[in-house]
Amino acid sequence: MDWLLDLFARAQQWLFEGLVQPLLFAAGQGNLLEDAFDATGWLLVGLLQIAVIVVVIVPLQRWRPVEPLRDRHAVRIDVIYTLIHRLGLFRVGAFFAVEPLMAGLFGHAAVYGYSGFQLDALVAPWWPGITDSAWFAFALYLLVFDFVDYWIHRGQHGLGAWWQLHALHHSQRQMTAWSDNRNHLLDDLLRDVIIALVARGIGVAPGQFVAVVAVTQLIESFQHANLRLSFGRIGERLLVSPRFHRLHHSIGVGHESQGAGTLGGHNFAVLFPLWDLLFRTANFELDRYDATGIRDQLPPPQGQARDYGRGFWAQQWRGFARLVGRG
């Protein structure tokens, strides 16, 4: 882990000094150098992720697609979402919106004697020696954040107002490796605030946090792929597969529980189906590759032919309209 982090740090430094720093000085924004260096790390992560999507996951989709590519426009919009998120454009905006809140909140907590704790140090006495490994800390934080993500996901599906935003993600009828970041910006902001609070509260080191987010996002891109792939009866219970997650996106199955239109569903886990097993939300029907989308998108009498928008801004506006009861 140490050599990998060192290699990434060198690449980040090279990209920052060769591209980002000169641009900042040219724009007269030298006061942002420290924040820009952190942003460069996220930019590098995003470039690596996009490279893996293009070189590895997209060819896999061509090899064993679940369905033919019918709506290339919808996929192109998903590519825009991916570029906005993975290249750090959304993260930079979220940083300026969230960081003052985080600083004020934890500064206020410090006044009353609470400054958070180091989770890996807290569990160190239980496993002497092994907790000194960076790999152990990475695995621990990966598990913790996946648990948090599971409950965030349950909230997105179980709370009516939050679902009005998250529904945009599920409205994609043509799932591909680009579909993971197809989210309403307010939905992403809510999730990022929760994740940032947890990260600050349990003392995750910046390098570890970047690694956890990078691995999680890349696996999520793989899960959304138009790929007919199951990990088998045992593997499906260890790691979320494209088949397992596609069932979560399936009409009338993945985000409905007790009948049509009822919030709930199955397969909420982001990385590890362990949480769906523990909380009885798992569906392991191995041979199912259903159509994806939301029931109310279907034409009458099955649905309401609801329009979730074709372009980026139309989708964002309609999501907000649903939130305030106008959509």
DSSP summary character for residue 298:
S
Please give the chain's pLDDT, 327 residues, in tens. 667 778 888 998 998 888 888 887 888 877 778 878 888 888 899 999 999 999 999 999 999 999 999 999 999 999 999 999 998 877 766 666 666 676 677 676 667 666 666 776 666 666 666 655 677 888 889 999 999 999 999 999 989 899 999 999 999 999 999 999 999 999 999 999 899 889 888 888 888 888 899 999 999 999 999 999 999 999 999 999 999 999 999 998 877 765 555 567 899 999 999 999 999 999 998 788 999 999 889 898 888 889 999 999 999 999 999 999 877
How far is residue 155's CA from residue 163's CA, in Å, rounded to a whole number? 8
The three-point CA angle 35-40-43 to 5° equals: 130
Q: Are 85 and 93 in contact (CB under 8 A)?
A: no
Distance CA 327, CA 318 (A): 6
* Contact of 210 with 45, CB cutoff 8 Å: yes
Cβ atoms 293, 170 nearer than 8 A: yes
Round to whole Å and give the CA distance between 281 and 288.
16
Which of these, 152, 215, 184, lies nearest to 4 by C-alpha position?
A: 215
Q: Is 89 in contact with 252 (CB distance < 8 Å)?
A: no
3-state secondary structure of 292: strand
Task: Give this prediction's pTM.
Answer: 0.89
In whole angstroms, what is the distance from residue 315 CA to residue 309 CA?
Answer: 4
Tell me how crowded residue 243 is: count the other CB atoms within 10 A of its CB: 22
The DSSP bridge partners found for residue 250 are 292
Are the C-beta atoms of 160 and 263 separated by less than 8 Å?
yes
